[in-house]
Chains A and B, each alone.
Chain A
Amino acid sequence: MSDRYTKERKVGEGTYAVVYLGKQISSGKDVAIKEIKTGGFKDGLDMSAIREVKYLQELSHENVIELIDVFSDSGKNLNLVLEFLPSDLEAIINDKSIMIVPADIKSWMLMTLRGVHHCHRNGILHRDLKPSNLLISPTGQLKLADFGLARALGSPNEKFTSNVVTRWYRAPELLFGSHHYSGAIDVWAVGVIFAELMLRTPYLPGKDDADQVVVTFQALGTPTEAIWPGVSHLPNYNNLVMYPPPSRQELRNRFAAATESALDLLCGMLTLDPNKRWDTDKCLTHKYFVEQPRPTEPLKLPKKEKKGDK
């Protein structure tokens, strides 16, 4: 089966997969080949590989990574052929030599939200949104990647694990250990990414799970029954220090470069109560995206090649 693709060189290795740069022989197109370590199927196939295949094949969108093909080579390993995307948002945020202007942030937010919107309208939660999972194509298009933690909205008698999403981007209902959540957790993560883009530094960098609670509520106020009905019944809601919610002026000071509507959108995405948190529809139709400056065209966005790729 692998005669349709060539593997050229290794570009990365994760816990359950090795990623190679390759070429589709028929078209000469660059592809990324994710070889899943199966260990001879001793313990079965890794869950995240199944999730990745299952949900990526459902999704086809400009801002979601494309799963081109799946094959197994010599009967041993499972290979996912994905679109090759040379850069990611984290590399851009961390490269201090790159200047990010508000129009660039708007463009990236727009593409992220479009991608998330597409997942959500198909009933899929990404559950691991963070800058390093937002890959950037050579033409500047931002694409959601790494669907290893994704899942479909389940029936009420299914219990979702709350141990998802990289810690810094974890929504408060996850911090409280909720087992029944919705796409609002992805919106929260996008909000934190939005803040990170403006600050050029992680917005809520908790050192461990307990610290994450403290950092999050220090920045955004501790939720109470009044602003989030039912919150005190969530499993991990106990022993909380009550921090006051930030005033508008405090937020303005923190995000000095943000316009008023940018702050509105940020507050909408970082609303503590998931029922009141904006959904992707509301975010995308917000006036932040309409007002000046217009979002930068993807081709003109700042770029960075990942180390080792030339």
Chain B
Amino acid sequence: MVELDWNNVPKDMCPVCKTDKYLSPEIQFKINPECYHKICDACVDRIFSLGPSPCPYPNCGKILRKNKFKTQVFDDLEVEKECDIRRRVLNIYNKKEADFPLTDDYNSYQEEIEDIVYKLLHKIDVEKTEEQLKEYSIANKQSIRMNNARSDQEYEKFIRLQKLEKQYKSQRNRLNRQIIHEQANLKNLEKMKTIDELQQPSEEKNSEAVIKSVKESMKNRSNKYKKQLVELENKYLKQREIIIKNQQINSKKKKEVKIPFTPFNGDRMIPMPYRLEPNRYKDPYMEKMVDDVQFMAGGYKLDLYYERSLNEAFTGLNCYIEEEKAN
């Protein structure tokens, strides 16, 4: 038996159990982003089901977990690696162009991302770069979460659009099929009519009238379907517009509110039975007391106290309890 060259595993063979694609065509290969060593699905199940274990490749020794195994997407492992790294970095560096006031800022942000990806991929300053990544993710925790939520929303929007389109297409196809069906019926009828004419020339008039009316109704029906088709398309376009504009599907057109906006709800100036004239009332005792840094820094306002006192003094004037009770 030939020793297996672990550094150059054959393309269609699992190096652990030596299963070959030729003999068992259902074999599937998995890789783990820790070391990107290829192992077949069955071996992954067997080795890693009981918890994390070291990679079976000699001289690797990386501890792998089953839930991190995935199917290889790209043939070239370098591409696969870069995609994984990029995905991870972009999950943290997830700002969009619109988040930057200047294009230059955005460009340098992109540059930074590329730098990090390049360094991680080619194992240059890995520790330092990881540190940088970590620092950034801590410093921007809030905005990262927000941006992720935003992209989730966009994804959701995309899914909704897709669903709408699918629905629209299936409805359109149904109507189209019905139209074709009606047209086929119409043709059949015409054929029947010719046969009828040939068979019973005497009752020509009568049968023609019958057929004409049937034909008429068929035409009407197919016209109706065509109309429905147009309506459907309009409805679809409208709903699509709404989703794109990020509104609820059912929300109706906003009516322009006619009432002007009143910040105080029309309740700002109650004519008070008194008026505090600026600089007319002086209380030297209090003014001296308030002229203190403690009062100033705390935001205390003597005028407000005067106002409150006046309010207290005058509240109840012009108030007739008996009358109010009667109401």
Interface, chain A (partner B; CB < 8 A): 58, 61-62, 110, 114, 117-118, 122-123, 152-157, 173, 176, 178-185, 228-231, 233-234, 249, 253-254, 256, 273-275, 277, 284-285, 289-290, 294-295
Known contacts A152-B308, A155-B305, A289-B261; is A233 also within 8 Å of B143 by CB?
Answer: no
Known contacts A152-B308, A284-B263; is A157 also within 8 Å of B289 by CB?
Answer: yes
Q: In the docked arrangement, what's the CA distance between A116 and B308, Å? A: 15
Q: B146 touching A117 by the CB < 8 A rule?
A: no
Which residue from chain B places its CB closest to the CB of A155 in the assembled complex? B305
B298 within 8 A of A: yes
Q: Tell me the total A-B contact number using a CB cutoff of 8 A.
A: 101
* Chain A residues, CB < 8 A from B308: 122-123, 152-153
* Chain B residues, CB < 8 A from A58: 315
Known contacts A180-B294, A228-B297, A256-B150; is A156 also within 8 Å of B264 by CB?
Answer: no
Chain B nearest CB from A100 CB (Å) reads 13
Q: In the docked arrangement, what's the CA distance between A117 and B262, Å? A: 14
B265 within 8 A of A: yes
Q: In the docked arrangement, what's the CA distance between A284 and B261, Å? A: 11
* Chain A residues, CB < 8 A from B294: 178-180, 230, 233-234
Q: In the docked arrangement, what's the CA distance between A72 and B278, Å? A: 45
Q: When each residue 98-129 of chain B gets 1 if its CB lies under 8 Å from chain A and 0 otherwise, what string results? A: 01010000000000000000000000000000
Q: In the docked arrangement, what's the CA distance between A157 and B307, Å? A: 16
Chain B nearest CB from A244 CB (Å) reads 14
Tell me what chain A mostly uses at the interface: helix, strand, loop, or mixed: loop
Q: A156 touching B263 by the CB < 8 A rule?
A: no
Known contacts A110-B263, A290-B261; is A178 also within 8 Å of B304 by CB?
Answer: no
Q: In the docked arrangement, what's the CA distance between A184 and B298, Å? A: 9
Chain A nearest CB from B321 CB (Å) reads 13
Which of A233, A285, A295 is the most central at the interface, judged by chain B CB atoms within 10 Å of its CB? A233
Tell me what chain B mostly uses at the interface: helix, strand, loop, or mixed: helix
Q: B300 touching A156 by the CB < 8 A rule?
A: yes
Q: In the docked arrangement, what's the CA distance between A185 and B286, Å? A: 22
Q: List 8 A-B contacts (CB under 8 A).
A: A114-B264, A122-B311, A156-B302, A178-B297, A180-B294, A253-B140, A254-B143, A290-B261
Which residue from chain B places its CB closest to the CB of A253 in the assembled complex? B143
Chain A nearest CB from B296 CB (Å) reads 5
Which residue from chain B places its CB closest to the CB of A199 in the assembled complex? B142
Which residue from chain A places its CB closest to the CB of B272 in the assembled complex? A121
Which residue from chain B places its CB closest to the CB of A152 in the assembled complex? B308
Q: In the docked arrangement, what's the CA distance between A117 and B267, Å? A: 10
Count B-side interface residues using an 8 Å CB cutoff: 35
Chain B nearest CB from A209 CB (Å) reads 18
* Chain A residues, CB < 8 A from B261: 289-290, 294-295
Q: B297 touching A173 by the CB < 8 A rule?
A: yes
B301 within 8 A of A: yes
* Chain B residues, CB < 8 A from A156: 286, 289-290, 295, 300, 302, 305
Q: In the docked arrangement, what's the CA distance between A180 and B293, Å? A: 10
Q: A178 touching B298 by the CB < 8 A rule?
A: yes
* Chain A residues, CB < 8 A from B51: none
* Chain B residues, CB < 8 A from A273: 299
Which residue from chain B places its CB closest to the CB of A181 in the assembled complex? B298
B257 within 8 A of A: yes
* Chain B residues, CB < 8 A from A230: 293-294, 296-297
* Chain B residues, CB < 8 A from A61: 267
Q: 4 other contacts beyond A173-B297, A275-B299, A285-B263, with CB at 8 A cut-off? A: A123-B312, A173-B299, A180-B294, A295-B261
Q: In the docked arrangement, what's the CA distance between A123 and B101, Å? A: 44
Which residue from chain B places its CB closest to the CB of A257 in the assembled complex? B146
* Chain B residues, CB < 8 A from A233: 293-294, 297
Chain B nearest CB from A287 CB (Å) reads 10
* Chain B residues, CB < 8 A from A176: 297
Q: In the docked arrangement, what's the CA distance between A154 and B140, Å? A: 44
Query: Which residue in B99, B257, B267, B286 is a CB contact (below 8 Å) of A155?
Result: B286
Known contacts A289-B261, A289-B263; is A229 also within 8 Å of B297 by CB?
Answer: yes
